[in-house]
């Protein structure tokens, strides 16, 4: 399941999701909700902090 940001109030598993909060949905659920949710972009590459060498 992917993460989405709610653009409107939603009910998910008996809980209220407020606009701006994230929610995990299947692609089909997100498609049915249309513009009420927006996909959260995934970070494809994370830059690791350079390791410090101990001399």
Tens digits of per-residue pLDDT, 28-39?
Answer: 999 999 999 999
Tens digits of per-residue pLDDT, 9-51?
Answer: 999 999 999 999 999 999 999 999 999 999 998 765 455 556 6
Query: So what's the pLDDT on residue 45?
Result: 45
CB-based contacts of 25, cutoff 8 Å, min separation 6: 1, 2, 4, 12, 33, 37
Residue 1 has pLDDT above 50, yes or no: yes
Q: Which residue has the tokens 């929610």?
A: 23
Whether pTM exceeds 0.75:
no
Q: Encoding tokens for residue 22?
A: 């994230």
DSSP three-state, residue 34: helix
């Amino acid at each position: 399941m992917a993460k989405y940001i709610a653009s409107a109030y939603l009910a998910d598993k008996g809980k209220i999701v407020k606009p701006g909060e994230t929610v995990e949905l299947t692609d089909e659920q997100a498609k049915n909700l249309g513009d009420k949710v927006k996909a959260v972009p995934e970070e494809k590459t994370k830059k690791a902090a350079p390791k410090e060498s101990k001399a």
